[in-house]
Amino acid sequence: MSRHATIIGAGVAGLTAAIHLRAHGWRVAVHEREPNLSVNGTALTLWPAAMAALDTLGLGERARALGVTAVRGEYLRADGSRIAPVDLAAIERKTGEPLRFVSRPALLGLLTEALPSDVLHLGSAVSARDLPAAEVLIGADGLRSTVRSTLFGARFRARYTGSTVWRGSADRATTAMTETWSEGCLFGTTPQDGGRTNWYASAPALETDRCPDGEPAALRARFGGWHDGIRAVLDELDEGSVLRHGLYTLAPPLPSYVRGNAVLLGDAAHAMSPTLGRGGCEALIDGVTLAGELLGRARIADALAAYDARRRGPTQRLARAAGLVARMAEVRRHTAPRDTALKLAMRLSPAG
């Protein structure tokens, strides 16, 4: 008799676990409370370890065909001068893979196509009373995870960081990955599939702040005096092309990703600042790692314990590192020591 997993959330982590389990004989049901999969979202950075996870699913070559690469990476000041380079060539030399960028909808489409339609249940909210019925309950329901709150309570929840984030894509190609820091704000750009430029920006703001003149006006007012590369993106913005949301992280960190027969993946387990571009990657790795442990061990409890041991430490360290980089970007004074620290961090940063 085949084993069965119930997965809550049809994001990157949940779909990844579903694909790997089902390919090896498990019965899988994925429940997503939204009636449709998201068609919004800009480029995700696929680090080499994430590509290895996609290779495990048999989707690596298709992801490589979808993704685009950058030829240059750097951190900049508002006037365009360089703070520190990102050695993209060193990452490729060490791992055999360049960093790739693919839009979130494209990645979700790739994962969804790998599952039969009867596995995915859209518009299906599974409540807390349903949890004990699952042989394995996989909570991959994101930042505001209901599974997490059921397992661990309200203390472990999404908390506002004090910054707002804008995202979008511009109808212009770029080959550079850049992030510009000044006066507690940042503005980043990366390549995106389809010959577009993925961009993102953040700035301190109250949680409920909105611009009465529209978000493009807010962005131009805050970043319009920065270097030419940013102004070229700002010139293309219209209200419909800008996504804005608060920046939240999970705090305090969870004492475990497992409780009983339930386990957390992705943002539900370790939501982190996007400053390192690792959230989507870690979701892929979580899904493949959990499925691998479930497939390789006779007892579910042993598999979940092994997953927790393998993934909680690394992802929580990454979350702390991402938070540190976010705080560095927010520095308004004493930027010279900050710049020195960033240069050192870039030299020591592991490829992964």
What pLDDT score does 330 carry? 81
What pLDDT score does 335 carry? 82
More confident site: 130 or 15: 15
Residue 18 identity: A
Least confident window among 110-119, 250-259, 263-272, 318-327? 318-327
Q: Residue written as tokens 């909570």?
A: 139
DSSP string, 165-186: EEEEEESS---EEEEEEETTEE
What pLDDT score does 351 carry? 55
Distance set, CA 245 to CA 199, 268, 349 (Å): 14, 18, 29
What pLDDT score does 292 carry? 98
Q: What does the block give as tokens for 105?
A: 């909808």
pLDDT over 70 at 247, yes or no: yes
- Whether residue 274 is preceded by a cis peptide bond, meaning omega within 30 degrees of 0, is no
Give the span between the Cα atoms of 42 and 51, in whole angstroms: 18
Beta strands in the chain (DSSP E): 4-8, 27-32, 43-46, 68-69, 72-77, 82-86, 100-103, 120-122, 136-139, 157-170, 176-182, 185-192, 196-204, 243-251, 258-259, 262-264
Sketch out the chain's domains with CATH numbers: 4-159+248-348 (3.50.50.60)
Contact 142, 166 (CB under 8 A): no
Confidence of residue 28 (pLDDT cuts 50, 70, 90): very high
Q: What does the block give as tokens for 81?
A: 């001068």
Phi and psi at residue 248, to the nearest 5°? -125, 150
pLDDT over 60 at 306, yes or no: yes
Beta strands in 183-318 (DSSP E): 185-192, 196-204, 243-251, 258-259, 262-264
Q: What does the block give as tokens for 58?
A: 């048999």
Confidence of residue 45 (pLDDT cuts 50, 70, 90): very high
**pLDDT tens-digit map of 124-179:** 887 656 655 678 999 999 999 999 999 999 999 999 999 999 999 999 899 999 99
- Whether residue 350 is preceded by a cis peptide bond, meaning omega within 30 degrees of 0, is no
pLDDT over 90 at 350, yes or no: no
**pLDDT tens-digit map of 75-112:** 999 999 999 999 999 889 999 999 999 999 999 999 99
**pLDDT tens-digit map of 171-217:** 989 999 999 999 889 999 999 988 899 999 999 998 888 888 899 99
Averaged pLDDT for residues 42-49: 90
What pLDDT score does 127 carry? 65
Strands in 196-204's sheet, in edge-to-edge order, are 82-86, 72-77, 176-182, 185-192, 196-204, 157-170, 243-251
User: Which residue, 263, 248, 272, is CA-closest to 294?
Assistant: 263
Q: Which residues contact 324 (CB under 8 A, 6 or more apart)?
A: none
